[in-house]
Structure 1
Amino acid sequence: MQASLELRPCRSDDADYVVDLKERTMRADLERLGRWHPERSRDRVLAAFSVAHTRIVEVDSGPIGSVSLRPDAGADGDAGWWLELFYVEPSAQGRGIGSAVLVRLLAETGEATVRLDVLQGSRARGLYERHGFVFESEDEDEIDVFLVRRPAA
């Protein structure tokens, strides 16, 4: 990827961009699973959105994505990070941007455990698996798959 990639801190007025971005990137998959509900989607984004932890992905000074990396105490006492709100504009997918962002974030987390969830059947799962994430569990409704990347032994 030749373009200039930046992860800028988000501002409170970026929340609407992230809500709309989720719709552009995930609506088709959510419809495929019979789970698209605009209000619920918006509520989930806003519940996870945090100015302190969310960043806007920019290429050549234009927004093309979002990502949030927040501290996670871990239910099993395994402190680490939770990766969420990771969306890349459909027109920018397949150009290595997601990988470049993920490499930067994983460098920031060092040897800590990182968790995320991905929709069943999502192409994004392959990206995560290429970067060391493995299956951890699945929701009872078989919609969300939880992946984890643990420190090397």
Structure 2
Amino acid sequence: MNISFVNTTQSDADTLVAIRIAAMRESLERIGRFDLQRARDRFLASFDPALCRFIHVDGVRAGFILIRPQVDRWLLDHLYILPEHQGKGVGAAVLQDVIANADAQRMPIRLCALRGSASNRFYQRHGFVQTDEAEWNIYYVR
């Protein structure tokens, strides 16, 4: 599996929203929180194309990642893999790369995951520890 990253631009916003919705829809529907417009608005409100990269696997777009470097940590704000690419090690390979880079800079990584989503187990398997929770999200650090 050859993973590469491609920079995004403002014109990619609709494509990124579509990837986010495809990746999260099942989890959101399961907890009764799926709302297409809210999902779109929440992403676009904080989208920064300079921080976002498409994830390509063997030349095919498989998802995207957005990391917000902060003074004392990295915020893994988005990591979405399209459903047809999930369960194949893509997310794990991308996350392992992020972890290696953060460790090299001695930076903790923070993130949140939707309550009830399989992503919670995914992040826990990769060494993330729960620090807090809210009505819809669980917060982690590594």
TM-score (norm 1): 0.86
More helix by share: 2
* Equivalent residue for 1:81, pick from 38, 58, 74: 74
1:119-130 to structure 2, matched below 5 A, reads 119-130=114-125
SS state at 1:52 partner: helix
* Equivalent residue for 1:104, pick from 97, 109, 113: 97
Pairing 1:118–2:116 present: no
Number of residue equivalences: 140
SS state at 1:65 partner: strand
Give per-residue Cα distances to partners, 1:64-116, cap 9 Å, x unaligned: 1011111234xxxxx11100221001001000000000011112222211111
Aligned-residue CA RMSD in angstroms?
A: 1.2
1:1-153 to structure 2, matched below 5 A, reads 3-73=1-71, 79-110=72-103, 111-139=106-134, 141=135, 143-149=136-142
TM-score (norm 2): 0.92
Q: How far did residue 47 of structure 1 move?
A: 2.0
Work out the percentage of aligned pairs sharing the same amino acid.
Answer: 36
Runs (5+) with no aligned partner, structure 2: none
